[in-house]
Structure 1
Amino acid sequence: MSTNGAAAPDTSGGLSRSVLGWYSLGASPGGIALTAGTFLVFYYNQVLGIPGATVGFAILAASIFDAVTDPIAGAISDRTRSRFGRRHPYMLACSVPLGIVFYLVWVPPSGLSQDALVAWLVFWLLVQRLLATFYAVPYLALGAELTRDYHERTRLTTVRSYLQNIGRSMAGALLLLYFLRPTEAYPNGQMNPEGYPAFATTFAVVTALVLWLSAWKTRSEADRLAQPTGREPWRSALTAPFRDVRDALRHRPFRALTFCVVLQYTAFGVSDALGLYMASFFWGISTDVFFVWGVGMFTGLYVGFDLWRRIGTRLEKRTIYLIGSVGYLASFITPYVLKVAGWWPDPESPLYLPMYIGITGFLSHLFSAGPGIMTGSMLGDITDLDELETGRRREGVIFGAESLAYKMFVGLGPVLAGLVVDFAEIGESTQPGEAPQSTIVALGLGQGGTSFLLFAVSLIFLRRYDLARDRHQEILRRISG
């Protein structure tokens, strides 16, 4: 074993409910961040008056810098020695600062020029992403360490996904029903500039508290997990992240899944960043109806998490990922195609809203739940393959890929969304219900076309993932033998 390897972890026993619960709770602020990201482009564009493409590129600038930190954070975490293990020191250190920076992103000082607003956004996004990397990468790596069991990993990622989406749905419900509720001055509540700072204050506190609790309540698990067995010379340690990424990319399953997930998360990022635009301009619905759509979406996710977990005991993980991806793509894009073509029911039809909520909300997200819970489980299996071939436990580097995919969600996705907004010629003065037909068509084509292209290419990569259940069992036998 190399000098920067790790002693074998004791993960033979099943996960206790307490550990599973406290660990998974740490994913809920990630759900809050996803909801916040849905509104960020809209807030800086429609409320603060920054062009959509400019906001998108500001977010991308932060994400490009941030993407470089993922393998670095993973490699540093993999090599860390402390009485709290390899992961918890970073999780504990970043939890409270993440809450503070969440607030600062959403509450710029009044009176700033457009250039100063963009600079404020870029700077605090850079800080936020750096802190998020040093929390999220160790956090995700910890999940793979807690158990090696093929099916229990899926159980863990399922519960983690549940808690993440509880955070996401809670944030969305409070935003739409309370912070951005319609008023006499703002019939479209999402245009109310006073609602966003109150939202930021509330969820900054929630984010800091929940992240800290998740890290603190699971710190005792470090005693039974892997620890580095040797020390590297400092010159070698400086180049370690890049060597680790190079070595990991030699694994065919890792390459296939990484490129697939990055492309799909980018598509999700476009969809989320355009969510309010599509609701307001393309579908022509109110904040209250958008909330009902959100209920349909989260119902689909929660039903899907349990459904795909149960099916996962019978089918290969890649098969579930493929079925879920194709089902999501078909159910998400078809309504846009039908509406642009003029084959969707008229807004006055009693079928208009039920079909919109049922297909784009419930059904598409029921399918997306499959890939959602399988990604972390499949990456966990890849860490075992990596250990077999290298003699090292490098969960941090492997799960840096999932963190990178999330950066595409919150980085490149909004850039593409901003380009779609500008392509559709939506400006600060464009009001829902008054947009020309050309704007509506451009939004539909931009949303549907981008999602189709990204998902279609992602499935080409997914076909090359070949780490099936039998092969994983053989890997574990060879490691233990």
Structure 2
Amino acid sequence: MNTRTDSPSTRMQLFYGLGGVANGILTNGLSFFLLIYYNLVIGLPAEVVGFALSVALIFDAVSDPLVGYLSDNTRSRSGKRHPFIYLAIIPIAFLYWFIWNPPETLTTQTQQFWFLLITTILLRTAMTLYDVPHNAMVPELTKDYGGRTTLSGLKVSIGWIAGQIMVIAMYVIWLVPTDTMPYGILNQAGYQEAGLVGAIILALAIAITALGTRRWQDRMTDISHDATYSASGFFKQSISAFKLPALRAIFVSSAIYAVGAGIGAALWTYLTSFFWELNNDQISLILVANLIGAIVGGVTIRMISRSGDKKTSAIVLSILSAVVGAAPYLLRDIGFFPANGTELLIWLLFAHGILQITLIVWTTALLTSMTADVVELGMSQNGFQNEGIITSVITFVLKAGTAGGLATSGLFLAFVGFPESPDQSNLTAEVTRALGWNYACLTLVVYMASVIALMFYRLDKAQFDELLALQK
């Protein structure tokens, strides 16, 4: 078996990392805008939107490892992973456009709910066909301990960069306020135009990363067990994977962390528009800060990949993410943060955006890389490869972050009493204060829970090197 301990080449990093564009467009589109679109534009209660997306997540719990299993056991002239990626291109693009263009014949909330639920399930299933095989490439492309963090980090960073650019475009191009519509975020036509552009970019990004990584598809042919498509084979290999304590720990920790990031993304528009009372130009400036943070995170990912023990680094960064994310809201509540409308507030939020996104990119890259490292542990203990099943954790976690964050945010908005149609009469100071304070408390609890789960991860570099030595 080729151990491929060399660091990934620049070309490999480029074409694999570009796959993150699809993740960024889809994840940020859904995380930042789907809740507010279906809540304030379409008219569904926030908790109903959240419920629909949480139900869709149940299907992901089955489809993600199933696609991983199928790609693990596929033998074709295009390798194990690429056939599934090619199959996903058109469905992902169409369904992403469709979710922003619900038929006008859906006139009742019940019809709108079922449309959102079914379309979300289909979109996430299509994304699974792409993302699970794509993530499974990491442990196959390189077995270099730091190289995996580099590959994972580039995909995460490029995803954030693409996603932030799309969000900036939303505010600058499609959701601009007018005299008749003071809240640009209520412009339905803007969402629909953006949905079409996003769909085109999704198709192109997936096609480019698929074609660009074809030259290494021969690295994705080892199966190390009799390839099989059967229910018993699926359950056997899935159970074997989830018997690994390290995988269970990283799964729980990553999922909780992703939900925390998803909550932040889902509530970001509410917080910037109603808590901080920023206008579109100011929001765009903060989005530029987020973009800078994603770039900084990507440029410095090599430094993180050389930081030694991934677990310790991930714990420290998770704690920093929690503190940095909650700090402005806690400081505002006790009177130690600038008032709304001041220039100092804008620049503090600008600096905060850079730091927060940098920390998220670093942490996500480490958690993704740590998941890929579990493949070697599974090979050692189970005697066969199941990269697809193991790395399906990554895909599920990303979607859990979006869906779980949206579902939690819907309940959260109902809890703080946020009005479905905010205006000067019902958006009181008590509501906005509750929005900021409870958001800070919620994210602190979520991120600390992620850290606790991560403490049960047991796989350091010394153990990883020993496992590689056994494969030679």
Alignment partners' CA distance in 2, 1:243 and 1:371: 31
Q: Does 1:98 align with 2:69?
A: no
Cα pair 1:252 1:465 within 8 Å, conserved: yes
- In the alignment, does 2:282 pair up with 1:289? yes
- After superposition, where does 1:91-170 map in structure 2 within 5 Å? 91-113=85-107, 114-170=109-165
Q: CA contact under 8 A between 1:51 and 1:427: conserved in structure 2?
A: no
1:4 maps to: none
Aligned to 2:349: 356
Q: Structure 1 CA distance, aligned partners of 2:266 and 2:425?
A: 20
Which of 13, 27, 40 is 1:20 aligned to?
Answer: 13
Deviating more after overlay: 432-441 vs 55-64? 432-441
Out of 436, 452, 468, the position equivalent to 1:476 is: 468
SS in 1 for 2:181: coil
Which of 325, 332, 336 does residue 339 from structure 1 map onto?
332
Shift of 1:444: 1.6
**Counterpart code for 2:407:** V
Equivalent of 2:36, from 39, 42, 48?
42
Matched, 1:437 2:429: yes
Contact map agreement 1:85 1:227 (CA 8 A) in 2: no
d(CA) in 2 for partners of 1:445, 1:239:
49
1:380 alignment partner in structure 2: 372
Whether 1:269 and 2:257 are equivalent positions in the alignment is no
Q: Which 4+ runs in 1 deviate beyond 6 A?
A: none
Name the residue aligned to 2:271: 278
Query: Could you say if the C-alpha distance between residues 13 and 324 of structure 1 is closer, same or farther in structure 2, counting changes exceeding 3 Å?
Result: closer
Determine the C-alpha separation between the residues in 2 that align with 1:256 and 1:432: 46
What's the offset of the Cα at 1:412?
1.6
Letter in 2 for 1:453: V
Decide whether the 8 Å contact of 2:260 with 2:446 is kept in 1.
yes
Which residue matches 1:3? Answer: none
Instruction: Judge which range, 169-178 or 337-346, deviates more.
Output: 337-346
Residues 431 and 142 of structure 1, relative CA distance in 2, 3 Å threshold? same
The Cα shift of 1:170 comes to 2.0
**Among the aligned pairs, what percent are the same residue?**
28
Distance 1:313 1:233 in 2: 38
More deviation, 396-405/215-224? 215-224
Structure 2 Cα separation of the partners of residues 373 and 433 of structure 1:
44
Letter in 2 for 1:423: F
Structure 2 CA distance for partners of 1:434 and 1:358, relative to 1, 3 Å: farther
Separation in 2 of the partners of 1:230 and 1:151? 28
Structure 2 match to 1:427: 419
Pick from 248, 251, 260 the counterpart of residue 244 of structure 2: 251
Distance 1:100 1:190, change over 3 A: same
Which secondary structure does the structure 2 equivalent of 1:378 belong to?
helix
How far apart are 1:218 and its partner, in Å? 1.6
Task: Indicate how the Cα distance of structure 1 residues 451 and 18 shifts in structure 2: closer, same or farther if over 3 A, else same.
Answer: same
User: Once the 2 structures are TM-superposed, how far is the Cα of residue 63 of structure 1 from its aligned partner?
Assistant: 1.4
Say whether the 8 Å CA contact 2:293–2:358 is kept in structure 1: yes
> Given the alignment of the two structures, is residue 460 of structure 1 paired with residue 468 of structure 2, yes or no?
no
TM-score (norm 2): 0.95
SS for the counterpart of 1:274 is helix
* RMSD of Structure 2 on Structure 1 (CA): 1.8
TM-score (norm 1): 0.93
Cα distance per residue 1:63-112 (max 9 Å; x no partner): 11222111111111111111111111100111121101100011111242
User: How far is 1:302 from its partner?
Assistant: 2.1
Q: 1:229 to 1:456 in 2, by over 3 A?
A: closer
> Which shifted more, 347-356 or 38-47?
347-356
Alignment counterpart, residue 186 of structure 1, candidates 157, 169, 181: 181
Distance 1:339 1:239 in 2: 56
- Unaligned 5+ segments in structure 2 are none
Query: Residues 284 and 433 of structure 1 are in contact (CA less than 8 Å); yes or no, is this contact kept in structure 2?
Result: no
Query: 1:159 is aligned with what amino acid?
Result: L
2: distance between equivalents of 1:321 and 1:30? 22
Aligned to 1:322: 315
* 2: CA distance, partners of 1:225 / 1:350: 53
User: Could you tell me which residue of structure 2 aligns to residue 63 of structure 1?
Assistant: 57
User: 2 CA distance for matches of 1:329 and 1:109?
Assistant: 40
Unmatched 5+ stretches in structure 1: 1-7
Tell me, in whole angstroms, the C-alpha distance in 1 between the residues paired with 2:244 and 2:89. Answer: 33
Deviation readout 1:287-336 (Å, 9 max, x if unpaired):
22111111112212322333353143143111221121111111110111
Deviates more, 1:200-209 or 1:221-230: 221-230
- How far 1:239 moved relative to its partner? 2.6
Does structure 2 conserve the Cα–Cα contact (< 8 Å) formed by 1:424 and 1:438? no
Which residue in the other structure is 2:390 paired with?
398
The answer for the alignment partner of 2:299 in structure 1 is 306
| 1:217 aligned onto 2:209 | no
Aligned partner of 1:82 in structure 2 is 76
